[in-house]
């Protein structure tokens, strides 16, 4: 029996959709990138999908951190949770503006809304004992040690031979505080932008939610949001058309389909590097474990073909 076509999808855009490598990062560059990247969302809407969008924010947070450092003698620098909130508004506006114009050109009658999204993490998450996610710009060792001496609790380490960098925890996402609003808006046909940059990390302490200096992986937060909103398909966009075994080796081969069991085996074998494909595979497993139906991993320029089942890597239980 043919499988029923899904009607809901969460599109998790990678950073390359917003800012290309070697670009300066001007607003004009980012708008131009989004005008091109978001055409696929209009395609999905016209094919009958309800859509949620998530996105990365690494370069944009890095810029805000540098601005704060440059002006710290004049104005107090903002903590990381506030910077994530700022970039959610910044990038959310850019996506909204681009999509509204695309929809107008195509005569698509859909509202687009950005939600400043808080994502709950656990205070006992072991990530808080081992900050390992690099953020911001690179420093010399001398500069890094001087900054650590001036600021209590600041952790900086050498990062893959590129210099010293600030390290922050990357805890697992547990829930999304604004999920009921997101679910209601997208179910009604609006395109909702949420969990930008993995969401603003918050802990529940002393009867209230408080922001924390951490970074949540964008794809893993997307998995939680998609599952909580009963989305059928999680579409993770990256730089390659599909997931590969033995990537960049002579015997490299693409994977068309992966079961959860196979994905876990490949993770144990070390097939997927920590700073590359591993978080996306972990996010895929998270989503399926939480009740999602299917995950597709592909590149931005192959969305239509991947959703139609003609390319990409597809993950499911069966």
pLDDT tens digits for range 188-213: 999 999 999 999 999 999 999 999 99
Residue 29 in this model has a pLDDT that exceeds 70: yes
Residue 139 in this model has a pLDDT that exceeds 70: yes
Number of Cβ atoms within 10 Å of the Cβ of 113: 15
- Please identify which of the residues 50, 62, 183, 280 carries the catalytic annotation: 280
Domain count, the chain: 1
CATH number reported for the structural domain that contains residue 185 in this entry? 3.40.1160.10
If one compares 220 and 318, the residue with the highest pLDDT of the two is 220
DSSP reduced 3-state for 259: strand
- Cα–Cα dist 79/82, whole Å: 6
With b meaning 16 or more CB within 10 Å and e meaning fewer, what string describes 32-61? ebbeebbbbbbebbeeebbbbbbbbbbbbb
Average pLDDT estimate for 240-255: 92
pTM (two decimals) = 0.94
Residue 250 in this model has a pLDDT that exceeds 50: yes
- Please identify which of the residues 16, 211, 254, 304 carries the catalytic annotation: 16
Residue 153 belongs to some domain of the structure: no
Residue 135 belongs to some domain of the structure: no
Residue 137 belongs to some domain of the structure: no
- Please identify which of the residues 15, 62, 92, 197 carries the catalytic annotation: 15
pLDDT score of 82: 97
Q: With contact defined as beta carbons under 8 Å apart, do 219 and 117 qualify? A: no
If one compares 162 and 315, the residue with the highest pLDDT of the two is 315
133 is catalytic: yes
Q: 201 exposed, middle or buried (CB, 10 Å; 0-12, 13-18, 19+)?
A: buried
Residue 194 belongs to some domain of the structure: yes
Residue 141 belongs to some domain of the structure: no
Residue 318 in this model has a pLDDT that exceeds 80: no
Residue 77 belongs to some domain of the structure: yes
Residue 92 belongs to some domain of the structure: yes
pLDDT score of 72: 85
- What DSSP assignment string belongs to 80-108? HHHHHHHHHHHHHHHHHHHHHHHHHHHT-
Q: What is the mean pLDDT of the chain?
A: 93
pLDDT tens, 260-285? 999 999 999 999 988 789 999 999 99
DSSP state of 196: G
109 is catalytic: no
- Please identify which of the residues 33, 62, 92, 133 carries the catalytic annotation: 133
- The answer for residues whose C-beta is within 8 angstroms of residue 284's C-beta and 6 or more apart is 223, 234, 236, 263, 295, 297, 315
Residue 3 in this model has a pLDDT that exceeds 60: no
- Cα–Cα dist 115/131, whole Å: 27
Residue 248 in this model has a pLDDT that exceeds 80: yes
Question: Which structural domain, as residue segments, surrounds residue 108?
Answer: 8-119+175-316
If one compares 273 and 13, the residue with the highest pLDDT of the two is 13
DSSP reduced 3-state for 281: helix
Which range, of 130-134, 197-201, 214-218, averages the lowest pLDDT? 130-134
pLDDT tens, 38-94? 999 999 999 999 999 999 998 899 899 889 888 988 999 899 999 999 999 999 999
Rounded to the nearest angstrom, the gap between the alpha carbon of residue 153 and the centroid of all alpha carbons in its chain is: 27
16 is catalytic: yes
- HSE-CB for 222 with a 13 A CA cutoff: 34
- Please identify which of the residues 14, 33, 136, 218 carries the catalytic annotation: 218
**pLDDT interval class at 2 (50, 70, 90):** very low
- Cα–Cα dist 61/42, whole Å: 27
pLDDT tens, 141-189? 999 999 999 888 889 999 878 899 999 999 999 999 999 999 999 999 9
Residue 218 in this model has a pLDDT that exceeds 50: yes
Residue 296 in this model has a pLDDT that exceeds 70: yes
280 is catalytic: yes
304 is catalytic: no
Average pLDDT estimate for 29-40: 96
Residue 235 belongs to some domain of the structure: yes
């Amino acid at each position: 029996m043919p499988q029923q076509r899904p009607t809901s999808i969460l599109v998790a855009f990678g950073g390359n959709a917003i800012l290309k490598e070697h670009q300066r990062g001007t607003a004009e560059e980012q708008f131009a990138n989004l005008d091109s990247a978001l055409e696929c969302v209009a395609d999905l809407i016209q094919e009958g999908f309800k859509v949620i969008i998530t996105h990365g924010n690494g370069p944009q947070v890095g810029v805000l951190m540098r601005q704060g450092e440059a002006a710290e003698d004049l104005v107090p620098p903002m903590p990381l949770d506030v910077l994530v909130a700022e970039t959610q508004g910044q990038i959310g506006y850019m996506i909204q503006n681009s999509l509204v114009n695309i929809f107008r050109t195509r005569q698509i009658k859909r509202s687009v809304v950005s939600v400043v999204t808080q994502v709950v993490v656990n205070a006992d998450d072991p990530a808080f004992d081992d900050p390992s996610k690099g953020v911001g710009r690179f420093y010399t060792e001398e500069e890094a040690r001087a900054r650590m001496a001036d600021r209590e609790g600041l952790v900086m380490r050498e990062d893959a031979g590129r210099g010293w960098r600030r390290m922050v925890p990357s805890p697992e996402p547990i829930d999304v505080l604004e999920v009921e609003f997101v679910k209601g808006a997208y179910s009604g046909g609006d395109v909702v932008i949420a969990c930008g940059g993995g969401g603003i990390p918050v802990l529940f302490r002393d009867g209230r939610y408080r922001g924390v200096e951490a970074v949540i992986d964008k794809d893993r937060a997307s998995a939680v949001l998609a599952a909580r909103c009963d989305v059928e398909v999680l579409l993770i966009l990256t730089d390659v058309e599909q997931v590969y075994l033995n990537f960049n080796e002579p015997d490299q081969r693409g994977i068309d389909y992966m079961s959860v069991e196979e994905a876990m085996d490949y993770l144990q074998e070390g097939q997927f590097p920590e700073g590359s494909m591993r978080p996306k595979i972990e996010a895929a497993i998270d989503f399926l474990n939480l009740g999602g139906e299917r995950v597709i991993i592909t590149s931005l320029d192959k969305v239509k073909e991947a959703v139609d089942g003609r390319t990409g890597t597809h993950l499911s239980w069966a």
